[in-house]
Structure 1
Amino acid sequence: MTAMPDFDTQSPAAVRAAIRSGAWRGYTNALARGHVQGNLMIVPAAYADDFAEYCRLNPQALPLIGRGEPGSPRIRAIAADLDLRTDVGGYMVFRDGELVDTPRDIAGEWREDLVAFVLGCSFSFEAVLQAHGVRLRHLDEGNVSAMYVTAVQTKPAGPFGGPLVVSMRALRAADAIRAITVSQHFPQFHGQPIHLGAPGLIGIEDLSQSYGGHGLTQLHEDELPVFWACGATAQMAALQARLPLCITHHKAHMVVTDLPVDDRLPA
């Protein structure tokens, strides 16, 4: 069990410092809730333009927040002190389409030809949903949203393609309607849901079997499963692409940026 933090949990700089030092090893969904969090994807420069095109073709799953320069572990436009080699807290290292390591930092893996991408994450709109009166039971219970691999195929680009991954939230009907109304105004955080109810219609046979084996998976009788496109889609694309090296964040350990989340809806 993760110890209670002794740093300012709502300061993105403090959160990154705690992750960097090893003082925080937990998930980031309850931290820096007024700031944008993102999925991480790092590929060799030879594949970077193809991946950028893959994001363009699949904007609901992969909304681009920031792109680094080759060899740089920093994207100063999203956080001046961010070091993507140490500040994420958990990583997945793929070689030739196989997961080979889940290190706490990737300083030893870093190369001068690597290009980092940060993609929008649904953690960023959970605080927005709550601000607009949507109850998120998984947060009330100290959990995270579950993810699932669907039968829906993404639009391919270069070596990248494969199934859409979704995140699921268990919502009462009124909350589901409100969540759709609110989230459609935040395309940078995946926008509106892609599906609600009947998981089998998108190829999910068993809600108890989540991608990564974590998250709230049990519904109450008065709840519907509501599914949003998820940035973990990039991880499935990395498996299909079989790149010589690809690095992503580990489950629920996101890139914490300095970008503010504006929870206001259009007038």
Structure 2
Amino acid sequence: MAATGTPVMFVHGMFLHAASWASWVELFRTAGYDPVNPGWPGEPSTVAAARQEPDRVAGIGIDDIVAHHAQIIGALGERPVVIGHSTGALVAQRLLDQGLAAAAVALQPPPIRGVANRAPSSIPVGWPLLRNPANRRRALSLTARQFRYSHGNALTTLESDRLYRQWAIPSPGRPVFELVFANLTRRSPATIDAANSARGPLLLVAGGKDHSAHRAVVRATVERYRASSAITDYQEFSDRGHSMPIDSGWREIAEATLAWMRRRLR
């Protein structure tokens, strides 16, 4: 089991505010860890402020998000376990690959460079954002209907709409373009050294009903990591969509994450 006070850093994904990790933060603190939940660069401290000031995150890319979290890690005095969701799961993998994290949990990650995303379900998620090239420099918002497809499709409409009202915020459009065109970009910010055997343990988690990060894509990412002798584990929750860290079933995912950390970080 990890020592008392081990830092755990949470990194959220697109269109969600850092405060959406609140339940996880409290659970991990109770479990003896020292949670850190900084949010993305430029992100206001509240959901309301983030909605009122969307331009504060406009133009921010994946490299900016990684650098922001790397700087915060530098002030911790100890390498944290990094838990990321969606785009934040890619950030967690980047930090692990760079040796800045002791371990990482990638919840429903997008494909890293070299992994093809052939899941038809992901097309309606990205296409409305990609069809206007100017969106790369803008802050973008989802409608409640788009949020239900991308995040809440495994929930009732009532719960999806509640989560949308509670946590949805504008996000920079640039990461969407960077992820979609990762395999066409030589220096893509989605690049990971999958053969890195010096990194710490990694857990990749998929949802069986996820439209945004299809389980087949997450499995393909796991297979790419087989080039490394470092620990790479996979867990799938067959009935869960992309909202798994924030919906009414969040505790199942959080406790499974805690169990993995206790097993792998001795």
Q: Which one has a larger percent strand, Structure 1 or Structure 2? A: 1
Q: Which one has a larger percent helix, Structure 1 or Structure 2? A: 2
Q: Which has the higher contact order (CA 8 A, sep 6+)?
A: 1
TM-score (structure 2 length as normaliser):
0.30
TM-score (structure 1 length as normaliser):
0.30
